[in-house]
Structure 1
Amino acid sequence: MLLLENPVLQRELLTNLRANSAFVLLLLYQVVLGLVLLVAYPSGQRVDLSSDPSAARQLVDFFFLGQYVLASLMAPTFAAGAISGEKERKTYEMLLASPLRPWAIVIGKMVASLTHLVVLIIASLPIIMLALPLGGVSVYEVWGAYLWLMISIVLFGSIGLACSCRFQRTSSSLVVSYLVILPIVIVGAIFWRALESSGSLRLNIATLILPPIYLTISWVLCAWTARRLLYPPDVGSEGKDVVDLEEESKHAIGMIIQRDQFPDRLFAPPRRTALMKDSANPVYDKEIHAELFSQGTLMLRLVIQISMLLAIPLMAFFLFIFPWHCPWYLCYVLVFNILVAPVFSAGALTSERERQTLELLLTTVLQPWQILWGKLLAGFRVSYVLTMFLMWPMVLAFLLAMGRFGSNWLAVLTFFAIVLIAAIFNSLSALLCSTLCKKTSTALLASYSVLIVLYFLPVAAWFIATNLVDAGPYLGVLKLVGAMSPLMAVFWVPLDANIHENLAEGGAIGDWKLVCLYIASTLLAIAGMLAVVATLLRNRWGMTGR
């Protein structure tokens, strides 16, 4: 009943694996891996396999770490909506009332969610094997790496499934899953790179020590999920659509959001006690006071606590101990916004469709630009304020380390400008996906896919060009392409020589032209997306300017 005759598993597998998107994703995944290997593979007629085996090792490590990061991003997208999707579709009680045991539901949802991802990973094995003849890495290291990758997928999926069972909305479970998985991915990547020269030790840890730990944690999470399904505290979801925030704060453990105090009121303003002003935007007022917090503040409290807990060691290392590596801390801040911004903006219009209130919104006297700005500002306000909680250490480091930061006030202001522009772009791209898609889950996946391609693909191209192949003539072009990503733009910001000399010795020299190119191109893209969304609101749904 758990696997062979599990109706939940059979239904989910038929729905997921027979979809056209499954075949398209598999094709694109294989094409990208094949192109990377084609570019990095030696082009000479004769290849000396004993002269420089480190290139092959770096290539295999790059492939594995790339798939490890992709698995951490894709596993929650498949698992975080497994149970919360049932709640959103109002089929949660029907599932619990079925004769299926809780463990059958958990195993069925778990296996069905991760099967597609496992197929993608296994399909990449033949491409990885083509790099083995180059030397420098053994087949046992490859098998050990893939074993650890598979176990990591199980852990990521169990985290996403547990969050999906705990929260009412897929967006909330998705962002909490990402923030829980993020430190695991960072530690795992550091472990894999730190033991690069000790292949046998790394192989033993990845195959003998980590799998039992990961499987034990996964079993505990699945057991907790099964127990919650057996004794569900959230049955009758229609009566729990709105959470009383005052009652929630009385029973909250840990951090409590005080909506009438600073800085909580910046992202969670207090309830309005007077009539709305005539000049106020009703869409923005409704979203910021009701929509974003109708499910309570648990997700927000977890986001703040987990992000700050992870930021403490990063800010100590990158801002105070080694301040010349401050762009790496900016990368963490940007990744945080990439994960959070779509959660508050990707459901702006799709949620109206799902609640069947879109027609009511369109028949109001509100103009398209009012709907656009109301939806955009409500989601952007919350995600940007949460991101700014991670940016204040930059100011603190600048003030406390004047001797090392010198006159880098312009660089610090530029860092804030890059984060602001990237946050606007992330929220607006999610709003655009919400305009084009019919479901919130689809809009979330589309938003994350767009941001991953735009932000991480230039980083991967730069890594390949500087570490795996001789791409000296093309470095200028790659710099221009890389400047389109904020993850690389923060590294081009020039710093004073007194803290930048270590980076300058390694060849990483800042360039204001590339920074200005990123700012200009992103602002142009923001203007273009605003125009597209406004046009869709006006024309596609019959909205005419009045």
Structure 2
Amino acid sequence: MLAGPLFSREALTVPRQLSHFLIRSGYVAAFFVLMYTAAQTTFGWQQVRNLGDIARYGQLVFQVLTMVQLAIMIFFAALFAAGNVAQEKDRRTMLLLLMTDLRDRELVLGKLCSSLLLPGVLLAASIPVFTLVQMLGGVSLQQVACAVAISAASGLVAGSWGSLVAFWREKTFQTLAITLIGIVFFLGVVEGVLTVTGSLSDVGIIIGSLNPFRAMARVLDPLNSAGRFSYSAVALISSGLLLLVAVLIILFTIVRVRVWNPSRTLGDMATLDENDRGVVRPPRPVWNSPVIWREMMTKAYGRKVIVIKLAYVVIAAAALYSVLTAPPNSPLVLGMISPVGAAFVSLSLLSMLLINAQGVTALTSERDTGTLELLLATDISAKEFIFGKLGGVLYNSKELILIPLLFMIWYLGQGQLTLENFIYIALGFLSLVTFAAMLGLHSGLSYTVSRTAIASSLGTMFFLFVGIFICMILILQARASFGLQLPSFLVFILGGSLGLWASLTHRNPSPALTLAAGILPFCTFYAITSFLLGQTLGVCLFVVAAYGFTTLAMLVPAISEYDSALGRTEMPKG
């Protein structure tokens, strides 16, 4: 009743869709596939009779599943909440909602609860899975309850933040970028405060509980006696503080929603002086390729993009500071990668998510505002449109590309990285960046609904990163018996291939996209194993070949899809 008719409509219509049941059942099925892969990695084909081994397996599965679910809750709650409101603004339907008799709280809570409906259903569907894992031993029901509470509170605060940013900003790219950077910045501030207060002090434990990943790690290690708080107390403090932050964000959004809207939606014409209304500006010279000119020479993504880039620079500076202040003999992060490498990977992942968001919104914003139909009436060719959009995305994201490379150049100058390895890293990074940009454009063309396109594009990138992370953990768990456990990894890789195939071939399937969906997870798996074995050339070759081929497989259909799917007949230029 507090959420109002917006949530009531969503709660009544969503269960009628077949995709709702497929996603819910597929989520649980993915958990069982992961459990099977972990079982084969841990035990292989031998018969297990020791209860202690089964309990250790249950503990391992619980650790992996809870961390993955926590990341899913935070990412998709923020993404759905931001995209739900941003779509209303792009389609100019936000004005209609503001003109109704909806109260401010009904508008804000209705949109927020509607966005959190799917993450909430997935979280509820995971509880029986966790209960089954608890029966294996090594995990208590209290730990399951704490893990679910932290995930629920984290999803709520992430969704509240995404909703606030979406009601505040006008451009979809700004909304997505500020949402992602804000989450990273919040976690970074919490960790920065802990360096001053100490993570083992009472104040440090309370402040550290604002980081849900740190609180979840404490729940997963119940025998850790650091500090005087038990893991259940830490979980309770974390859930309570995150819930308090979410409530404050929601209240602030309700108070400001009429201030931010509809004045910004209507534009800035009302603020112009009467003497300036008749001023005619001189025409600006336009290049022969008007699409890329618009992307590079105008403020198509809003005037606050510079703030987003400055926030990214601050995050990069914090990552560099953490590397400089780290002890010389620091242990490997998660036993896999050095602290410098972890900082570079974190910056690179954030860069690729932002580039992907800009790529998908470059097309969805054109469709929602109706300017895509205007482009269809011009003599702009398909190649000019696609390459113009792709070049504009890469140009506007140049700072996000250069900073990670400068990070590695600095590391090269310190003599801790060879020139050969630097070239391999640069080539692999640039291949992934191009893949992220093209995937965004491909999703924008494949899905007519902006919210679906954004969720598919960013979701594909997210699950790709999560899959790599899980695969590395399972490989380390297998250790010397990796060769015997290889068949179990094939099940995990096959599931990734099917998901990627469903995303890439949603609208216009092609043999190239099918082949790309089949080989990309296998090549990524080979690159992971080569990296863990200390090889470098093989990692670079397979990353460049696999992701480069997938980029081309999306690029070629995109050029023709611009004409066929959108109903445009290309006119030859005289």
Question: Is residue 306 of structure 2 the alignment partner of residue 304 of structure 1?
Answer: no
Partner residue in 2 for 1:253? none
Corresponding residue SS for 1:365? coil
Do the aligned partners of 1:456 and 1:485 also contact (CA within 8 Å) in 2?
no
Superposition deviation, residue 509 in structure 1: 1.7
Partner residue in 1 for 2:57? 55
Partner residue in 2 for 1:520? 545
Deviations 1:519-540 (A, max 9, x none): 1222222222221111212444
Do the aligned partners of 2:81 and 2:115 also contact (CA within 8 Å) in 1?
yes
Matches of 1:238 and 1:191 in 2, distance apart?
44
Matches of 1:55 and 1:213 in 2, distance apart?
32
Question: Is residue 175 of structure 2 the alignment partner of residue 173 of structure 1?
Answer: yes
Deviations 1:23-79 (A, max 9, x none): 221122111111112233356555322357333222101000000111122101221
Matches of 2:148 and 2:161 in 1, distance apart?
20
Partner residue in 2 for 1:354? 368
Report the CA distance shift for 1:63/1:97 in structure 2 as closer, same or farther (over 3 A): same
Range 50-59 or range 22-31, more displaced? 50-59
Do the aligned partners of 1:465 and 1:475 also contact (CA within 8 Å) in 2?
no
Do the aligned partners of 2:168 and 2:257 also contact (CA within 8 Å) in 1?
no
Range 313-322 or range 73-82, more displaced? 313-322
Partner residue in 2 for 1:334? 348
Range 473-482 or range 332-341, more displaced? 473-482
The share of aligned pairs that are identical, in percent, is 20
Report the CA distance shift for 1:351/1:518 in structure 2 as closer, same or farther (over 3 A): same
Question: Is residue 437 of structure 2 the alignment partner of residue 427 of structure 1?
Answer: yes
Matches of 1:237 and 1:164 in 2, distance apart?
12
For 1:286, which of 278, 281, 294 is the aligned residue?
A: 294
Matches of 1:374 and 1:51 in 2, distance apart?
57
Superposition deviation, residue 119 in structure 1: 0.9
Do the aligned partners of 1:79 and 1:161 also contact (CA within 8 Å) in 2?
yes
The one-letter amino acid of 2:293's match is D
Partner residue in 2 for 1:208? 236
Do the aligned partners of 2:82 and 2:179 also contact (CA within 8 Å) in 1?
yes
Deviations 1:204-260 (A, max 9, x none): 34432112211221111111101112444543623349999xxxxxxxxxxxxxxxx
Do the aligned partners of 2:95 and 2:262 also contact (CA within 8 Å) in 1?
no
Report the CA distance shift for 1:82/1:440 in structure 2 as closer, same or farther (over 3 A): closer
Question: Is residue 248 of structure 2 the alignment partner of residue 220 of structure 1?
Answer: yes
Matches of 2:315 and 2:230 in 1, distance apart?
25
Corresponding residue SS for 1:422? helix
**1:120-159 equivalent positions in 2, closer than 5 A:** 120-159=122-161
- Under a length normalisation based on structure 1, what TM-score does the superposition of the two structures give? 0.81
Do the aligned partners of 2:73 and 2:152 also contact (CA within 8 Å) in 1?
no
Range 14-23 or range 470-479, more displaced? 470-479
Corresponding residue SS for 2:300? helix
Matches of 1:161 and 1:273 in 2, distance apart?
38
Range 214-223 or range 345-354, more displaced? 345-354
Do the aligned partners of 1:333 and 1:387 also contact (CA within 8 Å) in 2?
no
Matches of 1:415 and 1:168 in 2, distance apart?
36
For 2:484, which of 473, 477, 487 is the aligned residue?
A: 473
Deviations 1:123-151 (A, max 9, x none): 01112222223322211111111111111
RMSD value over aligned CA atoms? 3.3
**1:390-401 equivalent positions in 2, closer than 5 A:** 390-399=404-413, 401=414
Matches of 1:129 and 1:464 in 2, distance apart?
22
Structure scoring higher RCO (CA < 8 A, sep ≥ 6) equals 2
Corresponding residue SS for 1:346? helix
Report the CA distance shift for 1:435/1:272 in structure 2 as closer, same or farther (over 3 A): farther
Deviations 1:374-428 (A, max 9, x none): 11111121124323234322222322x22xx16x122122222222111111101
Matches of 1:354 and 1:411 in 2, distance apart?
44
The one-letter amino acid of 1:60's match is F
Corresponding residue SS for 2:263? coil
Matches of 2:176 and 2:216 in 1, distance apart?
26
Range 368-377 or range 332-341, more displaced? 332-341
Corresponding residue SS for 1:438? coil
Question: Is residue 222 of structure 2 the alignment partner of residue 198 of structure 1?
Answer: yes
Matches of 2:363 and 2:485 in 1, distance apart?
42
Do the aligned partners of 1:492 and 1:510 also contact (CA within 8 Å) in 2?
yes
Question: Is residue 476 of structure 2 the alignment partner of residue 462 of structure 1?
Answer: no
Which 5+ residue runs of structure 1 have no aligned equivalent? 245-270, 494-506
The one-letter amino acid of 1:121's match is L
The one-letter amino acid of 1:284's match is I
Do the aligned partners of 1:492 and 1:515 also contact (CA within 8 Å) in 2?
no
Superposition deviation, residue 447 in structure 1: 0.8
Matches of 1:307 and 1:198 in 2, distance apart?
35
Question: Is residue 135 of structure 2 the alignment partner of residue 106 of structure 1?
Answer: no
Deviations 1:314-373 (A, max 9, x none): 333447745944332232122112321122211333333323333331232222111111
For 2:459, which of 449, 457, 460 is the aligned residue?
A: 449
Deviations 1:447-493 (A, max 9, x none): 1122234443243233234327954335598799767449x958956
Report the CA distance shift for 1:537/1:202 in structure 2 as closer, same or farther (over 3 A): farther
Report the CA distance shift for 1:77/1:7 in structure 2 as closer, same or farther (over 3 A): same
Question: Is residue 264 of structure 2 the alignment partner of residue 239 of structure 1?
Answer: no
For 1:382, which of 396, 401, 413 is the aligned residue?
A: 396
Do the aligned partners of 1:8 and 1:109 also contact (CA within 8 Å) in 2?
yes
Matches of 1:224 and 1:434 in 2, distance apart?
32
The one-letter amino acid of 1:36's match is L
Report the CA distance shift for 1:213/1:136 in structure 2 as closer, same or farther (over 3 A): same
Partner residue in 2 for 1:19? 17
For 1:436, which of 428, 432, 446 is the aligned residue?
A: 446
Do the aligned partners of 1:162 and 1:225 also contact (CA within 8 Å) in 2?
yes
Report the CA distance shift for 1:482/1:362 in structure 2 as closer, same or farther (over 3 A): closer
Matches of 1:490 and 1:317 in 2, distance apart?
25
Partner residue in 2 for 1:254? none
Which 5+ residue runs of structure 2 have no aligned equivalent? 189-210, 273-280, 331-337, 494-518
Report the CA distance shift for 1:514/1:475 in structure 2 as closer, same or farther (over 3 A): farther
Partner residue in 2 for 1:411? 421
Superposition deviation, residue 98 in structure 1: 3.0
Matches of 2:175 and 2:29 in 1, distance apart?
31
Report the CA distance shift for 1:204/1:307 in structure 2 as closer, same or farther (over 3 A): farther
Partner residue in 2 for 1:263? none
The one-letter amino acid of 2:153's match is I
**1:31-50 equivalent positions in 2, closer than 5 A:** 31-41=29-39, 45-50=47-52
The one-letter amino acid of 1:533's match is A
Report the CA distance shift for 1:458/1:169 in structure 2 as closer, same or farther (over 3 A): same
